[in-house]
């Protein structure tokens, strides 16, 4: 039975309204040469996401009250495009998956808005910032709530736009403006794949006897029409879009540069929400990925590659935000390993995929908490150090900023996968499933190995950053003297997120760790109605024994501890003044494997040359030449013909004779006899 609710539309509406109001106020006051009143702007700005969060909670409980098989609320706002076979409405779908996402987005979003009031309090663009940030919330909520691919794409593009606006927020610095460009363009490349995927699905359904619709429910219902090959094509094209949005190799290049924006932006957009849109989309379209035998493995492989690639770069970075940026890329890789394996498992054992999709989404959820925490904490540090971001100029801040130190410590432990924090549970689940996958195809043990090594590297570089920032002797005395703890409006969200990081992990306790009293797999159970592709059949996934489970966990925790130990030995105890490692490979890592330079040489330079050629060779020499010289040619022709006009009667008479001759010739040639 279909359930509708008129409340769903309010969720994206509130931030849209506040964004519009703040935007208009900004323009109005800008005309007068001043900024909008900060009190009013901050109240509106926080109220928007907060209202959405409250409505989300209400709807969450409404959803819980429904029986599991019917757990979906829809609302059709208005019909949008009705052209022939293409029928798209603006309608929202609230099912367990999107409910989880909107709670995460609005909840963490509200905290970050609150934090931003403190962080941006001295900035001239205060109200413009909040207009953009609320607009972003609107787009992200449309993306998550959209019931069809086109509507999701509207949100997709919207978040890309807001990302551009916010990364290039301080656009008077040309480097920051370029960073915004880079993000948007890299996203656009991915979006091209997304569009092609949509077109493919539409026309495939149109030509193979189905109802050509891009609505999620409609597509899922017609999944049987898709051949494995068609499903692979559709899935991989859509995944290209996900690669762009979620910064997978090789479209990862924009995320590090995106750190040019204000730190709360990095926390919200590039940690908790926008970059997870790709994972969300793969989970939504899980049924498509599951039909294809290889798409899931491609996703998981790219995820694994990205994870270790980014982790190696992170260990050499010296900018606190860049370390976090690359760690985000790396963790996103983990999420894709999760959902990719989910598709693969569903392909080989019907009904087994839903739980593994949930594992990937669980990492999205936990990561949102601790990554937002880490970014906001780094923002607090940067603020205290007067906009200094180089960790080699920090040190010994523990005494000066205890709250920040404690909360960031919790975040760093979480990302390193230390129990009982959230990161441990989600990462552990992914590692275990990678190990299980190896049972089915031996090379998949490679993904497990990569994930494990990356885990160790993650612990290492995160603690490197932590120790260099907070421990040891200060490297720049001036900065150390002026450092101070941030105001409550900034530390409150830190504490709230830290609390979340501690608690949230227990939402998905695996059976082996329940110790008889903890509720298990709450998260996966909640998400199952959305992520389920097929009913459980006869077969079941291979599951290692409890002993193996414990061994795997011990190995994972062990490798994290090893990483932490290394970091401690190198960066905490000795308190180095500069980076101790000087080898060539360190340089390569610091230069991010020269990917940007390669793209510049392989992609950008040829395009620029082509543009130059088109401008000069085709446009100037070719078209302009023709346009300018056609009149000249005509003039020349005229001049040549003008000779006939002699003004002499005799020459005209001669021409008449010639004409007469021509006519006679014609008649001669056509005489019948």
Partner 1 sequence: MEPTPFQLGLQSVLFGILALVAVAGALVTITRRHPLPAALSLVVSFIGLAGLYALLSAPLLAILQILVYAGAIMALVIFVIMLLNVQESDLPVNENVGKSVALALAAITPVLLIFLAILGKLPNDQTLANTPVPADFGTIEVLGKFLYTNYLFAFESVAVLLTVALVGVVILAKRRI
Partner 2 sequence: MLTMSHFLFVSAVLFTIGVAGVLSRKNLFIVFLSIEIILNAVNLSFVTFARFLGQLDGQIFTFLVIAVAAAEAAIGLAIVILLFKNKESLNVDDFKLMKE
Residues that bind partner 2 (CB under 8 A): 645-650, 653-654, 657
The least CB distance from residue 660 to partner 2, in Å, is 8
Neighbouring residues of 381: CB distance < 8 A, sequence distance ≥ 6:
320, 394, 397, 401, 404, 408, 469
Residue 664, interface with partner 1 (CB under 8 A)?
yes
| Span near partner 1 by CB under 8 A; candidates 55-63, 296-304, 636-644, 664-672 | 664-672
- What does 671 interact with, of partner 1, partner 2, none (CB < 5 to 8 A by kind)? partner 1
Query: Residue for token digits 């949008």?
Result: 80
Dihedral (CA of 150, 151, 155, 158) sign = positive
- Output 648 or 671, the one with its CB closest to partner 2: 648
Residue 567 near residue 464 (C-beta atoms within 8 A): yes
Q: Would you call 580 helix, strand, or coil by DSSP?
A: coil
Binding partner selected for residue 649 from partner 1, partner 2, none, CB under the kind-specific 5 to 8 Å limit: partner 2
Q: From the list 27, 608, 657, 659, which residue makes contact with partner 1 (rule: CB under 8 A)?
A: 657
Shortest separation between residue 615's beta carbon and partner 2, angstroms: 43
Determine the Cα–Cα distance for residues 77 and 6; give it in Å rounded to an integer.
Answer: 9
Q: Which is nearer to partner 1, 503 or 656 (CB)?
A: 656
d(CA 11, CA 93) in angstroms, rounded, equals: 12
Dist CA 222 CA 521 (whole Å):
30
Site string for partner 1, 595-634 (x = CB under 8 A): ----------------------------------------
| Binder of residue 647, out of partner 1, partner 2, none (CB less than 5 to 8 A by kind) | partner 2
Q: Which tokens sit at 321?
A: 């935000």
Backbone angles phi, psi at 475, to 5 degrees: -90, -25
CB of 645 to partner 1, least distance (A): 21
Nearer to partner 2, 613 or 654 (CB): 654
Q: How many CB atoms lie within 10 A of CB 587?
A: 11
State yes or no: residue 670 binds partner 1 (CB under 8 A): no
Q: Which stretch binds partner 1 (CB under 8 A): 109-117, 265-273, 384-392, 653-661?
A: 653-661
The residue among 69 and 658 lying less far from partner 2, judged by its C-beta, is: 658
- Is 665 a binding residue for partner 1 by CB under 8 A? The answer is yes
Q: How many CB atoms lie within 10 A of CB 593?
A: 14
Nearer to partner 1, 440 or 654 (CB): 654
Say whether residue 488 binds partner 1 (CB under 8 A).
Answer: no
Asked if residue 517 binds partner 1 (CB under 8 A), the reply is: no
667 binds, among partner 1, partner 2, none (CB under 5 to 8 A by kind): partner 1
Q: How far apart are CA 73 and CA 92, in angstroms?
A: 8
Is 673 a binding residue for partner 1 by CB under 8 A? The answer is yes
**Pick from partner 2, partner 1, none: which does 32 bind, CB < 5 to 8 A by kind?**
none
Are the C-beta atoms of 484 and 588 separated by less than 8 Å?
A: no
Closer to partner 1 by CB, 598 or 656: give it.
656
Compute the distance between CA of residue 629 and CA of residue 416 in angstroms, rounded to an integer. 70
Q: Which is nearer to partner 2, 122 or 650 (CB)?
A: 650
Phi, psi of 146 (to 5 degrees): -60, 140
- Binding partner selected for residue 665 from partner 1, partner 2, none, CB under the kind-specific 5 to 8 Å limit: partner 1
Q: Is 671 in the site for partner 1 (CB under 8 A)?
A: yes
Rounded-to-integer distance, Cα 415 and Cα 424, Å:
8
Q: What is the DSSP string of 604-625?
A: IHHHHHHHHHIIIIIIIIIIIH
660 binds partner 1 (CB under 8 A): yes
3-state SS class at 390: strand
Nearer residue to partner 2 within complex by CB, 65 or 672: 672
State in angstroms the smallest separation of the CB of 671 from partner 1: 5
Partner whose binding site includes residue 30, from partner 1, partner 2, none (CB under 5 to 8 Å by kind):
none
Given partner 2, partner 1, none, residue 673, with its beta carbon under 5 to 8 Å by kind, binds partner 1
Quote the CA–CA distance of 374 and 370 in Å, as a whole number: 6
Sign for the CA dihedral angle at 507, 509, 510, 515 comes to negative
Contacts of 168 (CB under 8 A, 6+ apart): 176, 177, 178, 179, 180, 181, 260, 261
Among 78, 515, 517, 667, binds partner 1 (CB under 8 A): 667
Q: Which alpha helices (DSSP H) does 83-122 contain, by range?
A: 96-119
* CA-CA-CA-CA dihedral for 438, 439, 440, 446, to nearest 10: 10
| CA gap 371, 381 in Å, rounded | 15
Q: Using CB under 8 A, list all residues that contact partner 1.
A: 654, 657, 660-661, 664-665, 667-668, 671, 673
């Amino acid at each position: 039975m279909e359930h509708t609710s008129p409340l769903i539309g309010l969720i994206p509406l509130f931030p849209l309204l506040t964004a519009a109001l703040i935007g208009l106020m900004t323009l109005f006051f800008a005309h007068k040469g001043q900024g909008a009143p900060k009190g009013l702007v901050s109240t509106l700005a926080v109220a928007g996401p907060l209202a959405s969060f409250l409505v989300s909670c209400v709807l969450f409980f409404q959803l819980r009250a429904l029986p599991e098989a019917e757990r979906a609320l829809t609302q059709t706002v208005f019909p949008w495009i009705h052209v022939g076979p293409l029928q798209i409405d603006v309608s929202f779908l609230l099912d367990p998956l999107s409910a989880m996402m909107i709670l995460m987005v609005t909840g963490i979003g509200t905290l970050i808005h609150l934090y931003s009031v403190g962080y941006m309090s001295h900035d001239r663009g205060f109200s413009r910032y909040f207009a953009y940030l609320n607009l972003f919330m609107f787009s992200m909520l449309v993306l998550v709530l959209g019931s069809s691919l086109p509507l999701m794409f509207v949100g997709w593009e919207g978040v890309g736009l807001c990302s551009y606006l916010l990364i290039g927020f301080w656009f008077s610095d040309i480097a920051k403006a370029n960073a915004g460009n880079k993000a948007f363009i890299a996203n656009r490349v991915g979006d091209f794949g997304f569009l092609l995927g949509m077109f493919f699905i539409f026309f495939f359904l149109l030509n193979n006897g189905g109802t050509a619709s891009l609505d999620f429910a409609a597509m899922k219902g017609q999944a049987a029409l898709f051949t494995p090959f068609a499903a692979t094509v559709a899935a991989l094209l859509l995944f290209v879009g996900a690669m762009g949005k979620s910064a997978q190799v090789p479209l990862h290049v924009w995320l590090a540069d995106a750190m040019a924006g204000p730190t709360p932006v990095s926390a919200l957009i590039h940690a908790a929400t926008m970059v997870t849109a790709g994972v969300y989309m793969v989970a939504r379209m899980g049924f498509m990925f599951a039909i294809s035998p290889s798409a899931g493995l491609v996703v998981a492989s790219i995820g694994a590659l990205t994870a270790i690639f980014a982790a190696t770069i992170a260990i050499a970075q010296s900018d606190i935000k860049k370390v976090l940026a690359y760690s985000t890329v790396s963790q996103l890789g983990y999420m894709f390993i999760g959902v990719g394996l989910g598709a693969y498992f569903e392909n080989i054992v019907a009904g087994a995929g839903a739980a593994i999709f949930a594992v990937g989404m669980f990492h999205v959820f936990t990561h949102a908490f601790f990554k937002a925490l880490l970014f906001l904490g780094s923002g607090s540090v940067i603020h205290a150090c007067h906009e200094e971001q180089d960790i080699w100029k920090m040190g010994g801040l523990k005494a000066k900023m205890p709250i920040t130190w404690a909360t960031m410590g919790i975040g760093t432990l979480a990302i390193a996968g230390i129990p009982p924090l959230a990161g441990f549970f989600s990462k552990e689940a992914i590692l275990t499933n990678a190990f299980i996958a190896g049972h089915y195809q031996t090379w998949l043990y490679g993904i497990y190995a990569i994930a494990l090594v990356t885990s160790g590297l993650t612990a290492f570089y995160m603690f490197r950053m932590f120790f260099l920032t907070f421990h040891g002797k200060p490297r720049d005395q001036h900065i150390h003297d002026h450092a101070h703890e941030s105001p409550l409006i900034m530390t409150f969200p830190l504490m709230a997120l830290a609390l979340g990081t501690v608690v949230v992990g227990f939402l998905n306790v695996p059976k082996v760790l329940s110790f008889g009293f903890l509720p298990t797999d709450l998260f996966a159970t909640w998400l199952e109605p959305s992520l389920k592709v097929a009913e459980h059949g006869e077969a079941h996934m291979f599951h290692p024994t409890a002993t193996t489970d414990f061994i795997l966990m011990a190995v994972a925790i062990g490798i994290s501890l090893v990483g932490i130990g290394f970091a401690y030995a190198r960066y905490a105890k000795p308190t180095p003044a500069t980076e101790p490692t000087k080898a060539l490979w360190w340089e390569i890592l610091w230069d991010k494997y020269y990917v940007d330079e390669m793209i510049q040489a392989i992609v950008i330079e040829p395009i620029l040359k082509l543009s130059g050629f088109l401008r000069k060779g085709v446009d100037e020499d070719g078209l302009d030449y023709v346009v300018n010289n056609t009149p000249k040619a005509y003039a020349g022709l005229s001049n040549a013909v003008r000779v006939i006009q002699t003004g002499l009667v005799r020459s005209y008479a001669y021409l008449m004779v010639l004409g007469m001759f021509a006519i006679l010739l014609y008649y001669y040639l056509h005489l019948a006899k």
